[in-house]
Amino acid sequence: MKELLRKMHTWMTGYMNQFVTDDEEVMQGIRIKTEHTGYVTAIARELAQHLSLSEHDVQLAEMMGLFHDVGRFRQYSIYKTFNDSQSEDHADLGLKVLAEEMPYMGDLSAEDADLLCYAIKYHNKKEIPADAAGRRLLFARLLRDADKLDIYRVLSPFLDPEKADQAPRFMKAKSTDLISPEFIKAFAAGEQADYRKLKTLGDRRLVRLLWVYDVNFGWTLKKMVERGYIQKVIDHLPEQEGVQTGVDRLWAYIEKKCAAADDVSAYIKERI
């Protein structure tokens, strides 16, 4: 497994390098996705170790982080956007890339290949299917957490108004700081909102806080808090009715989630 992981890293580096170009606007996006891939790979491994998974499963989690956004590169080369609604679902596209171009999928066991593909497929969906269970559910949740943790890092610099205009085109929204009423309502109730209805910069900021309710492990939330990601978003929210109610509810949820131990016994039995 260790040697296979090394080969996969080598392949992925070469694959990403295929998209290097002299077009600086394109490279801005490619650099972000390349760096994001590296961070998520490391986070997935660290989270798996925190959960005391076997070394085999730690390496499998690392593979998931490595390939979770492989579809982003083909997506941008074809559609010139990272917006799934305007192009193609990047997770589904990533699975096509792995099936067509990555030469080592056949070296995985049938179970490991299934887990890898399942976690990648659902890392970006609004929800994991309700019938997900066992190791499928564990790894899908692990990868979603690793991805979200680093997305906060990626987006954090562009919260400042003076830097918002420097954000890549695919990260921009209408410039108003005000939050749409339906997003305020969801935030105050501690619920998810329909991301397809994003209209303003305020909506986009608030959605980052709504992600907290989709974080699966206390470890991940603790990292978000320690790194100041959540407070920074809160500091950039406008003073609108309902916002403080949502903030108070959010911190209460975080405190409770972080106080609970991350127990994976419900997902997985000890590998022999």
Q: pLDDT tens for residues 113-149?
A: 999 999 999 999 988 999 999 999 999 999 999 999 9
Q: Both tokens of residue 118?
A: 């399942």
Residue with tokens 């790194």: 227
Q: What's the total number of domains in the chain?
A: 2
Q: What is the CATH number of the domain that holds 21?
A: 1.10.3210.10
**Both 34 and 93 in a single domain?**
yes
Q: Say what the pLDDT of residue 173 is.
A: 47
- Separation CA 30–CA 133 (nearest Å): 34
Task: Quote the domain boundaries for residue 226.
Answer: 173-259
Q: Check residue 233 and give left, alpha or beta (phi > 0: left; psi -120 to 50: alpha).
A: alpha
- Separation CA 212–CA 220 (nearest Å): 10
Q: Both tokens of residue 190?
A: 């501690």
- Separation CA 163–CA 175 (nearest Å): 12
Structural domain includes residue 265: no
In this predicted structure, the answer to whether residue 166 has a pLDDT above a threshold of 70 is: no
**Both 97 and 134 in a single domain?**
yes
**Both 18 and 94 in a single domain?**
yes
Structural domain includes residue 210: yes
Question: Residue 161's closest CA among 229, 220, 232?
Answer: 232
**Both 27 and 147 in a single domain?**
yes
Structural domain includes residue 165: no
**Both 134 and 82 in a single domain?**
yes
Structural domain includes residue 161: no
Give 198's contacts (C-beta < 8 A, 6+ positions apart): 173, 204, 207
Report residue 271's pLDDT band, with 50, 70 and 90 as the boundaries.
very low
Structural domain includes residue 168: no
**Both 37 and 148 in a single domain?**
yes
The 8-class DSSP code of residue 270 comes to P
Q: pLDDT tens for residues 78-116?
A: 888 888 888 899 999 999 999 999 999 999 999 999 999
**Both 143 and 187 in a single domain?**
no
Report residue 171's pLDDT band, with 50, 70 and 90 as the boundaries.
low
Whether the CB-CB separation of 81 and 170 falls below 8 Å is answered with yes
**Both 32 and 130 in a single domain?**
yes
What does the mean pLDDT of the chain come to? Answer: 89
**Both 31 and 144 in a single domain?**
yes
- Separation CA 233–CA 124 (nearest Å): 21
- Separation CA 240–CA 244 (nearest Å): 8
Give 184's contacts (C-beta < 8 A, 6+ positions apart): 206, 240, 241, 242, 243, 246
Structural domain includes residue 101: yes
Number of Cα atoms under 13 Å in the Cβ half of residue 10 = 8
Q: Say what the pLDDT of residue 162 is.
A: 54
- Separation CA 67–CA 4 (nearest Å): 14
In this predicted structure, the answer to whether residue 265 has a pLDDT above a threshold of 90 is: no
